[in-house]
Amino acid sequence: MRFTSIEDFVGKKDLFYSRYFDREPHIFKAAIPGPLDDIFSIADLDEALNFEALRSDYMILAKQGELIPSHRYSRTIQVRDTPQVTYHNCVDPEKVRRLFHDGATIFWTGVNHFNSTVRRISEIFAEELGVRVEGDIFLTPARTQGFVIHHDPFDTYIVQLSGTKNWKVWPTPEERPKQWVSYDQKDMPEPVIEESLQPGDVLYIPYGTPHGPVAEEDTSLHMTFSAPPVMWSDKLESLVNAILQGDAEFRDRRYIFGRGEATDQSVEQAAEALIRKIREAEGKKEILDRSSSDASIGSKMTSLFQ
């Protein structure tokens, strides 16, 4: 595996964190030297399409911003004519092929669940960023647009693998949108990026930043790694929880509802006790740093004979 660090995708960490991370979108030109076929190729996608048990929840097809209902490219699979082992909603490769040739973008989500290279790259991002990271693959036919302008609730790292893809990315807003927004290009400022990604280029887009791909002359294959932001509320919650659950004063003292226990004064006293414990807590930094060791984050490779 040729990748060992996030620096393989975004260059020197110091510069990335001080200049771009959570601040502004940026293209890291020719970050990954070719050839790129060993990372992920259209042949790998073909192979996956023909996995008979690949569920259509993993495979999303879209055309001009509209999702294609999954029943249009699904079939039912039965193993050894056993009705108990019947899987509905499995991907039908022939139907997918026809829809792709009719202009649909293929969006295979959660590829890290299936492919060891994508899983390893997801792990590199997860270890660095302290969150679970998913890897997705997009194959877009020439002269089409699968998705309209939108923002995502997570940071994205887009790696162009083959063909080219033209992106427009707008400035990262000071206040990030909390919900879905319908963007109309004529009401938006000038994009800060309007450029064609070449194989080996990496595009970083902070969460909440509007972006949209633009149709190109050739078929494009890219992968995207999505990393949700960690908020202070998440981190403080884990610190406070560790204290509350580890301290008998909070954990074993019963709160009695309906006997006037919760006066403003008593709440204040309990809060002060909690603040005191937070000040005294050992290993605060460990709790705040604890991330990639969390079982929900890793999807570590294991070997049966090691």
Which residues would be at the binding site for Fe ion (CB under 5 A)?
Answer: 152
Q: How far is the CB of 205 from Fe ion (least distance, A)?
A: 7
199 to each of 36, 204, 219, how far by Cα in Å? Answer: 8, 15, 12
CB distance 162 to 221 below 8 Å: yes
For residues 68 and 148, which CB has a smaller minimum distance to Fe ion in the complex? 148
Give the whole-angstrom CA distance, residue 216 versus residue 146.
Answer: 12
Smaller CB distance to Fe ion: residue 121 or 243? 121
Tell me the C-alpha to C-alpha distance, in Å, between residue 245 and each of 207, 249, 296, 298.
33, 10, 20, 24
Q: Residue 112 or residue 156: which is nearer to Fe ion going by CB?
A: 156
> How many CB atoms lie under 10 A from the CB of residue 81?
7
| Token code pair at residue 48 | 């996956």
Taking the complex as a whole, the smallest distance from the CB of residue 273 to Fe ion amounts, in Å, to 45
Q: Which is nearer to Fe ion, 25 or 130 (CB)?
A: 25
Q: What is the closest distance, in whole angstroms, from the C-beta atom of residue 112 to Fe ion in the complex?
A: 17
Q: Smallest distance from the beta carbon of 153 to Fe ion, in angstroms?
A: 10
Report d(CA 87, CA 74) in Å as an integer.
10
Report, in Å, the least distance between residue 156 CB and Fe ion. Answer: 6
For residue 123, report the phi and psi dihedrals to the nearest 5 degrees: -65, -40
> What's the min distance (Å) between Cβ of 280 and Fe ion?
44
**Whose Cβ is closer to Fe ion: residue 127's or residue 152's?**
152
Q: Which is nearer to Fe ion, 68 or 274 (CB)?
A: 68
Token duo for residue 194? 């309007």
Q: In Å, what is the CA distance from 81 to each residue of 50, 52, 84, 86?
A: 19, 14, 9, 8
